[in-house]
Protein backbone atom coordinates (compact mmCIF):
# COMPACT_ATOMS: atom_id res chain seq x y z
CA UNK A 1 0.00 0.00 0.00
CA UNK A 2 1.54 3.35 -0.99
CA UNK A 3 1.84 6.00 1.70
CA UNK A 4 -0.75 8.74 1.29
CA UNK A 5 -0.22 12.39 2.19
CA UNK A 6 -2.79 15.15 2.09
CA UNK A 7 -3.54 18.60 3.42
CA UNK A 8 -7.13 19.26 4.38
CA UNK A 9 -8.29 22.85 4.76
CA UNK A 10 -4.92 23.86 6.18
CA UNK A 11 -4.63 27.43 7.45
CA UNK A 12 -1.41 28.79 8.93
CA UNK A 13 -0.43 32.31 10.02
CA UNK A 14 2.76 34.04 11.05
CA UNK A 15 1.46 36.54 13.60
CA UNK A 16 -1.60 38.15 12.05
CA UNK A 17 -0.60 37.33 8.47
CA UNK A 18 -2.35 34.34 7.01
CA UNK A 19 0.16 32.47 4.86
CA UNK A 20 -1.79 29.31 4.02
CA UNK A 21 -5.48 29.86 3.41
CA UNK A 22 -7.58 26.72 3.70
CA UNK A 23 -5.23 24.73 1.51
CA UNK A 24 -6.40 21.31 0.43
CA UNK A 25 -4.13 19.10 -1.61
CA UNK A 26 -3.99 15.34 -2.06
CA UNK A 27 -0.47 14.35 -3.07
CA UNK A 28 -0.56 11.63 -5.72
CA UNK A 29 1.15 8.48 -4.45
CA UNK A 30 4.09 7.29 -6.54
CA UNK A 31 4.15 10.47 -8.63
CA UNK A 32 6.46 13.44 -8.97
CA UNK A 33 4.55 16.61 -8.09
CA UNK A 34 6.00 20.07 -8.71
CA UNK A 35 4.87 22.89 -6.44
CA UNK A 36 5.23 26.22 -8.25
CA UNK A 37 4.32 29.80 -7.44
CA UNK A 38 5.77 33.26 -6.93
CA UNK A 39 8.24 34.19 -4.20
CA UNK A 40 6.52 34.42 -0.85
CA UNK A 41 3.39 32.59 -2.01
CA UNK A 42 3.78 30.00 0.76
CA UNK A 43 5.41 27.00 -0.96
CA UNK A 44 8.00 26.43 1.80
CA UNK A 45 5.35 26.93 4.44
CA UNK A 46 3.13 24.32 2.79
CA UNK A 47 6.01 21.84 2.57
CA UNK A 48 6.83 22.48 6.24
CA UNK A 49 3.21 21.82 7.16
CA UNK A 50 3.18 18.61 5.10
CA UNK A 51 6.30 17.48 7.00
CA UNK A 52 4.82 18.35 10.44
CA UNK A 53 7.50 21.05 10.97
CA UNK A 54 4.70 23.43 11.86
CA UNK A 55 1.19 22.93 13.09
CA UNK A 56 -1.69 24.56 11.23
CA UNK A 57 -4.02 26.90 13.08
CA UNK A 58 -6.88 24.97 11.51
CA UNK A 59 -7.26 21.99 9.22
CA UNK A 60 -4.92 19.04 9.23
CA UNK A 61 -2.22 17.18 7.37
CA UNK A 62 -2.79 13.47 7.14
CA UNK A 63 -0.23 10.76 6.53
CA UNK A 64 -1.82 7.41 5.78
CA UNK A 65 -5.20 8.83 6.63
CA UNK A 66 -4.26 9.85 10.18
CA UNK A 67 -3.29 13.33 11.44
CA UNK A 68 0.47 13.61 11.06
CA UNK A 69 0.79 15.59 14.31
CA UNK A 70 -0.55 12.64 16.30
CA UNK A 71 2.09 10.26 14.96
CA UNK A 72 5.49 9.62 16.64
CA UNK A 73 8.39 11.64 15.16
CA UNK A 74 10.57 8.65 14.35
CA UNK A 75 7.71 6.75 12.72
CA UNK A 76 6.98 9.77 10.50
CA UNK A 77 10.69 10.14 9.68
CA UNK A 78 10.78 6.57 8.42
CA UNK A 79 8.06 7.40 5.92
CA UNK A 80 8.66 11.04 5.03
CA UNK A 81 11.85 13.04 4.46
CA UNK A 82 12.06 16.77 3.85
CA UNK A 83 14.90 18.81 2.49
CA UNK A 84 14.28 22.45 3.51
CA UNK A 85 15.51 25.36 1.42
CA UNK A 86 18.53 26.42 3.52
CA UNK A 87 19.13 23.88 6.25
CA UNK A 88 21.75 24.92 8.84
CA UNK A 89 25.04 23.10 8.29
CA UNK A 90 26.54 21.48 11.42
CA UNK A 91 30.09 22.79 11.91
CA UNK A 92 32.99 20.65 10.69
CA UNK A 93 30.74 17.87 9.41
CA UNK A 94 32.04 15.68 6.57
CA UNK A 95 30.01 14.61 3.57
CA UNK A 96 29.74 11.03 4.85
CA UNK A 97 28.64 12.25 8.30
CA UNK A 98 26.00 14.55 6.81
CA UNK A 99 24.59 11.91 4.48
CA UNK A 100 24.60 9.34 7.29
CA UNK A 101 22.31 11.62 9.32
CA UNK A 102 19.59 10.50 6.94
CA UNK A 103 19.79 7.09 8.59
CA UNK A 104 18.94 8.25 12.13
CA UNK A 105 15.25 7.30 11.85
CA UNK A 106 16.36 3.74 11.08
CA UNK A 107 19.06 3.44 13.75
CA UNK A 108 18.71 1.23 16.80
CA UNK A 109 19.49 2.04 20.44
CA UNK A 110 23.27 1.93 20.03
CA UNK A 111 23.21 4.14 16.96
CA UNK A 112 25.62 1.86 15.08
CA UNK A 113 25.41 1.70 11.30
CA UNK A 114 24.24 -1.62 9.91
CA UNK A 115 25.28 -2.98 6.52
CA UNK A 116 21.91 -1.74 5.20
CA UNK A 117 22.64 1.78 6.55
CA UNK A 118 26.09 1.85 4.94
CA UNK A 119 24.64 0.60 1.65
CA UNK A 120 21.93 3.30 1.70
CA UNK A 121 24.51 6.02 2.45
CA UNK A 122 26.79 4.81 -0.32
CA UNK A 123 23.94 4.53 -2.84
CA UNK A 124 22.70 8.04 -2.00
CA UNK A 125 26.22 9.48 -2.37
CA UNK A 126 26.59 7.67 -5.70
CA UNK A 127 23.24 8.87 -7.07
CA UNK A 128 24.08 12.50 -6.31
CA UNK A 129 27.71 12.35 -7.41
CA UNK A 130 29.27 13.20 -4.03
CA UNK A 131 30.98 9.88 -3.26
CA UNK A 132 34.38 11.32 -4.23
CA UNK A 133 34.00 13.98 -1.52
CA UNK A 134 32.92 11.55 1.24
CA UNK A 135 35.70 12.45 3.68
CA UNK A 136 35.81 16.19 2.98
CA UNK A 137 34.16 18.80 5.19
CA UNK A 138 30.92 19.95 3.58
CA UNK A 139 31.80 23.57 4.35
CA UNK A 140 34.75 23.32 1.94
CA UNK A 141 32.57 22.40 -1.05
CA UNK A 142 30.95 24.65 -3.61
CA UNK A 143 27.31 25.67 -3.17
CA UNK A 144 26.11 23.14 -5.75
CA UNK A 145 28.23 20.31 -4.34
CA UNK A 146 26.87 21.11 -0.88
CA UNK A 147 23.33 21.07 -2.23
CA UNK A 148 23.89 17.59 -3.64
CA UNK A 149 25.12 16.41 -0.21
CA UNK A 150 21.86 17.58 1.34
CA UNK A 151 19.89 15.79 -1.36
CA UNK A 152 21.97 12.67 -0.65
CA UNK A 153 21.07 12.94 3.03
CA UNK A 154 17.36 13.04 2.19
CA UNK A 155 17.74 10.09 -0.21
CA UNK A 156 19.67 8.06 2.39
CA UNK A 157 16.60 8.28 4.62
CA UNK A 158 14.95 5.90 2.10
CA UNK A 159 11.44 7.12 2.79
CA UNK A 160 8.47 6.45 0.53
CA UNK A 161 7.66 10.19 0.62
CA UNK A 162 10.21 12.85 -0.21
CA UNK A 163 9.61 16.63 0.00
CA UNK A 164 12.27 18.93 -1.47
CA UNK A 165 12.28 22.71 -1.34
CA UNK A 166 14.03 24.13 -4.39
CA UNK A 167 16.68 21.37 -4.50
CA UNK A 168 18.10 22.58 -7.82
CA UNK A 169 18.48 26.26 -6.96
CA UNK A 170 22.29 26.19 -6.62
CA UNK A 171 22.95 23.61 -9.30
CA UNK A 172 24.44 24.04 -12.75
CA UNK A 173 22.42 22.94 -15.79
CA UNK A 174 23.81 19.40 -15.85
CA UNK A 175 23.03 18.72 -12.20
CA UNK A 176 19.62 20.39 -12.41
CA UNK A 177 18.74 17.88 -15.12
CA UNK A 178 20.41 14.97 -13.32
CA UNK A 179 18.65 15.62 -10.03
CA UNK A 180 15.26 16.01 -11.72
CA UNK A 181 15.89 12.85 -13.76
CA UNK A 182 16.82 11.05 -10.54
CA UNK A 183 13.62 12.20 -8.83
CA UNK A 184 11.66 11.07 -11.88
CA UNK A 185 13.27 7.61 -11.71
CA UNK A 186 12.61 7.37 -7.97
CA UNK A 187 8.93 8.02 -8.56
CA UNK A 188 8.38 6.17 -11.85
CA UNK A 189 10.50 3.09 -11.10
CA UNK A 190 10.55 2.92 -7.31
CA UNK A 191 7.08 4.25 -6.53
CA UNK A 192 8.34 7.09 -4.33
CA UNK A 193 5.94 9.97 -3.74
CA UNK A 194 7.83 13.20 -4.35
CA UNK A 195 6.86 16.84 -3.98
CA UNK A 196 9.40 19.36 -5.18
CA UNK A 197 9.12 23.16 -5.01
CA UNK A 198 10.66 24.56 -8.17
CA UNK A 199 11.07 27.96 -9.78
CA UNK A 200 12.01 26.76 -13.25
CA UNK A 201 8.63 26.17 -14.90
CA UNK A 202 10.05 24.38 -17.92
CA UNK A 203 12.05 22.04 -15.72
CA UNK A 204 8.91 21.41 -13.67
CA UNK A 205 6.67 20.91 -16.71
CA UNK A 206 9.10 18.56 -18.42
CA UNK A 207 9.62 16.29 -15.40
CA UNK A 208 6.60 16.44 -13.10
CA UNK A 209 3.60 14.14 -13.50
CA UNK A 210 1.48 16.55 -11.50
CA UNK A 211 1.72 20.25 -10.67
CA UNK A 212 0.30 22.46 -7.96
CA UNK A 213 0.10 26.16 -8.86
CA UNK A 214 0.18 28.23 -5.71
CA UNK A 215 -0.45 31.93 -5.23
CA UNK A 216 -0.87 33.98 -2.06
CA UNK A 217 -1.43 30.91 0.08
CA UNK A 218 -4.11 29.44 -2.16
CA UNK A 219 -4.05 26.54 -4.62
CA UNK A 220 -4.92 28.03 -8.00
CA UNK A 221 -4.73 24.84 -9.95
CA UNK A 222 -3.63 21.26 -9.40
CA UNK A 223 -3.63 18.16 -11.53
CA UNK A 224 -1.80 16.33 -14.28
CA UNK A 225 0.91 18.55 -15.76
CA UNK A 226 -0.51 18.41 -19.30
CA UNK A 227 -3.89 19.62 -18.00
CA UNK A 228 -2.88 22.39 -15.58
CA UNK A 229 0.37 23.77 -16.94
CA UNK A 230 -1.03 26.19 -19.49
CA UNK A 231 -0.16 29.72 -20.54
CA UNK A 232 -3.41 30.90 -18.91
CA UNK A 233 -2.48 29.30 -15.58
CA UNK A 234 1.07 30.67 -15.66
CA UNK A 235 -0.18 34.16 -16.46
CA UNK A 236 -2.78 34.02 -13.69
CA UNK A 237 -0.32 32.83 -11.06
CA UNK A 238 2.84 34.77 -12.00
CA UNK A 239 1.40 37.86 -13.71
CA UNK A 240 3.76 37.23 -16.60
CA UNK A 241 2.58 36.70 -20.17
CA UNK A 242 4.09 33.65 -21.87
CA UNK A 243 4.26 32.20 -25.34
CA UNK A 244 3.94 28.46 -25.75
CA UNK A 245 6.33 26.89 -28.23
CA UNK A 246 6.67 23.24 -29.13
CA UNK A 247 10.16 21.77 -28.90
CA UNK A 248 10.60 20.15 -32.34
CA UNK A 249 12.79 17.32 -31.05
CA UNK A 250 10.65 16.16 -28.10
CA UNK A 251 7.24 17.59 -28.98
CA UNK A 252 7.11 19.07 -25.47
CA UNK A 253 5.59 22.45 -24.74
CA UNK A 254 8.04 25.14 -23.73
CA UNK A 255 6.88 28.29 -21.97
CA UNK A 256 8.71 31.44 -22.98
CA UNK A 257 8.06 34.65 -21.05
CA UNK A 258 7.21 37.65 -23.19
CA UNK A 259 9.85 40.25 -22.42
CA UNK A 260 8.65 43.68 -21.31
CA UNK A 261 9.28 46.31 -23.94
CA UNK A 262 12.29 48.21 -22.63
CA UNK A 263 13.22 49.77 -25.97
CA UNK A 264 16.19 49.05 -28.21
CA UNK A 265 18.77 50.65 -25.93
CA UNK A 266 17.55 48.70 -22.91
CA UNK A 267 17.53 45.36 -24.66
CA UNK A 268 20.95 45.62 -26.26
CA UNK A 269 22.77 48.14 -24.15
N1 LIG B 1 9.54 32.58 10.18
C2 LIG B 1 8.73 33.46 9.57
N3 LIG B 1 8.19 34.48 10.25
C4 LIG B 1 7.35 35.37 9.66
N5 LIG B 1 7.00 35.31 8.34
C6 LIG B 1 7.53 34.30 7.61
C7 LIG B 1 8.42 33.34 8.18
N8 LIG B 1 8.75 32.47 7.21
C9 LIG B 1 8.12 32.87 6.08
N10 LIG B 1 7.39 33.97 6.34
C11 LIG B 1 6.55 34.69 5.36
O12 LIG B 1 5.59 33.75 4.85
C13 LIG B 1 5.34 34.02 3.47
C14 LIG B 1 5.51 32.74 2.69
O15 LIG B 1 6.88 32.36 2.74
P16 LIG B 1 7.39 31.03 2.06
O17 LIG B 1 8.84 30.92 2.38
O18 LIG B 1 6.51 29.91 2.44
O19 LIG B 1 7.18 31.37 0.52
P20 LIG B 1 7.77 30.65 -0.76
O21 LIG B 1 6.65 30.54 -1.74
O22 LIG B 1 8.45 29.38 -0.39
O23 LIG B 1 8.81 31.73 -1.27
P24 LIG B 1 10.19 31.59 -2.13
O25 LIG B 1 9.78 31.20 -3.51
O26 LIG B 1 10.72 32.98 -2.09
O27 LIG B 1 11.05 30.59 -1.46
C28 LIG B 1 6.29 35.15 3.06
O29 LIG B 1 5.58 36.35 3.04
C30 LIG B 1 7.33 35.16 4.15
O31 LIG B 1 7.82 36.46 4.34
Q: 266 pLDDT band (50/70/90 cuts)?
A: low
pLDDT in tens, 222-260: 999 999 999 999 999 999 999 999 999 888 899 999 987
Q: How confident is the model at residue 123 (pLDDT cuts 50, 70, 90)?
A: very high
Does CATH place domain 1-79+159-240 in 3.40.50.300?
A: yes
**What's the pLDDT score for residue 261?**
77
Ligand 1 pocket, residues with Cβ under 6 angstroms: 14, 19, 37, 39-45
Examine the pLDDT at 108 and tell me if it is beyond 80. Answer: no
pLDDT tier at 59, thresholds 50, 70, 90: very high
Domain edges within the chain = 1-79+159-240, 90-158
Q: What atom of ligand 1 comes closest to residue 166's alpha carbon? A: 27
For ligand 1, mutation pick of 17, 37, 44 (most atoms within 8 Å of CB): 44
Q: What is the pTM of this model?
A: 0.91
What separation in Å is there between the alpha carbon of 19 and the centre of ligand 1? 8
Q: How confident is the prediction for the chain on average, in pLDDT?
A: 92
pLDDT digits (tens, 9 = 90+) for 129-164: 999 999 999 999 988 888 899 999 999 999 999 999
Q: What is the ipTM of this complex?
A: 0.97
The answer to whether the beta carbons of residues 11 and 71 sit under 8 Å apart is no
Q: Which of 19-33, 109-123, 164-178, 249-263 has the highest mean pLDDT?
A: 19-33
Say how many Å lie between the CA of residue 184 and the centre of ligand 1.
Answer: 27
Which residues are registered as beta bridge partners of 210? 33, 224
Q: Is the pLDDT of residue 267 over 70?
A: no
Residues 65-103 have pLDDT tens digits of: 999 999 999 899 999 999 998 888 888 999 999 999 999
Distance of CA 130 to the CA centre of its chain: 19
Mutate to test the pocket of ligand 1, among 15, 17, 18, 19 (most ligand atoms within 8 A of CB): 19
Q: Whose CA is nearest to atom 28 of ligand 1?
A: 40
Q: How far apart are CA 243 and CA 231, in angstroms?
A: 7
Determine the Cα–Cα distance for residues 20 and 41; give it in Å rounded to an integer.
9
**What's the confidence (pLDDT) of residue 113?**
82
- For the chain, where are the E strands, in sequence order? 5-14, 17-27, 32-36, 58-63, 66-67, 80-83, 161-165, 193-197, 210-215, 218-224, 242-246, 253-257
* Nearest CA, atom 2, ligand 1: 14
With a cut of 60, say whether residue 269 has pLDDT above it.
Answer: no
Q: Is the pLDDT of residue 110 over 80?
A: no
Amino acid sequence: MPVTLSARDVTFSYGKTEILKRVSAAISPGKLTALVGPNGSGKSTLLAALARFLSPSSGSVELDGRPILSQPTKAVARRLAILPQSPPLPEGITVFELVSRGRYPHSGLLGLWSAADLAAIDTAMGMTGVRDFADRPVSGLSGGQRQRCWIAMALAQETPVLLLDEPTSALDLRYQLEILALLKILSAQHGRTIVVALHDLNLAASHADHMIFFREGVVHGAGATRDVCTATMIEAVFDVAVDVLVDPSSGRQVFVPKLPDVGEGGRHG
